[in-house]
Amino acid sequence: MKVHAPATVNEACEMLARAAAEGRTLRPLAGGTDLLVHWPSKSAAHEGEYLDLSGVSELRPLVWRDDALVLGALTTYWDVVREARVAAELPLLNAAARQVGAVQIQSRGTWAGNIANASPAADGVPVLMAYDAGVALRSSGGERVVPLSAFYTGYRASVRRPDELITAIEVPIRSRDVAVFHKVGPRRAQAITKIGVAITRLAGSGADRWRIVANSVAPTVVRCREVERLLDSGARITSAGGFMPALQADISPIDDIRSTAAYRRTVMGRLLYHSLLGACSSVV
């Protein structure tokens, strides 16, 4: 095993570029709360090469710009929990962060790691997506910012190239009049999500204001565009069942070790209905 310890983002990107050119896999290592689980028995992973980001101080800060909150790639959940302004202005980030694992995980796990790990159960992703976050990807060739809603291409797959590092997550600050986050897990802490949903609506009028983002109900975290359209249409919805046709198009839950497809579908409908009752005039 090799552990590379760059001191700067440039250095890190060069290391990634070299590895990519030579056909080697070099994995960024942030909090390690995904990579190091069951580490002693992961013999194959011990052969790998790792890019330890912990010394790259540029990746650390959580910065407020006028129009956005920027989470450096090493920003942890706990960093967000501690930042009072997040709870006030982007409450879903606080809500999600507080429900990740428990404090030992919140203190080490990073938002960038959560995104890069590409688990359909990731709890950081739905709230970021519901806030229209963008992912800053840097390589030795330059930087691009990809909307999080366009980041995933399939199960555990994303647009990130092996030579790219997530350097930051940009969360635009916009006025929203609905913001809800639900995590349904098997217990109240240390729980992998069985069904999750983040809901926001941009303040103002017009279409495309809803963001309905669900986790653990499809191969990736998904934006439920049919549900968003349904809400935009103003069609009356009088029960959880009213969401089902749209949800069927948006989500594709499965039976697995943690829950069942039927349960996930039903609960998703109910969460939507009860969350939007009162928040959306067409849901009654």
Ligand X SMILES: Cc1cc2nc3c(=O)[nH]c(=O)nc-3n(C[C@H](O)[C@H](O)[C@H](O)COP(=O)(O)OP(=O)(O)OC[C@H]3O[C@@H](n4cnc5c(N)ncnc54)[C@H](O)[C@@H]3O)c2cc1C
* Residues engaged in binding ligand X (CB under 6 A): 27-35, 37, 53, 73, 100-101, 105, 108-110, 112-114, 116-117, 122-124, 165-166, 190
Q: Which residue has the tokens 């002693």?
A: 40
Closer by beta carbon to another protein, 55 or else 172: 55
Q: Which partner from the list ligand X, another protein, none does 38 bind, CB cut-off 5 to 8 Å by kind?
A: another protein
Cβ 239 to another protein shortest distance, Å = 6
Closer by beta carbon to another protein, 191 or else 212: 191
Closer by beta carbon to ligand X, 9 or else 230: 9
Helices vs. strands in the chain: H and E counts, helices first: 10, 14
Rg, the chain, Cα only = 19
162: which strand partners? none
125 C-beta neighbours (distance < 10 Å), count: 29
Cβ 67 to ligand X shortest distance, Å = 23
Rounded CA-CA distance 228/230 in Å is: 5
Closer by beta carbon to ligand X, 132 or else 163: 163
72 C-beta neighbours (distance < 10 Å), count: 23
Rounded CA-CA distance 275/51 in Å is: 42
Q: Which partner from the list ligand X, another protein, none does 166 bind, CB cut-off 5 to 8 Å by kind?
A: ligand X
Q: Which partner from the list another protein, ligand X, none does 73 bind, CB cut-off 5 to 8 Å by kind?
A: ligand X
* DSSP letter (8 states) at residue 237: B
Q: Which partner from the list another protein, ligand X, none does 189 bind, CB cut-off 5 to 8 Å by kind?
A: another protein
- Contact between residue 165 and residue 70 where contact means Cβ atoms under 8 Å apart: no
- Contact between residue 171 and residue 69 where contact means Cβ atoms under 8 Å apart: yes
Cβ 112 to ligand X shortest distance, Å = 4
Closer by beta carbon to ligand X, 116 or else 247: 116
Cβ 56 to ligand X shortest distance, Å = 9
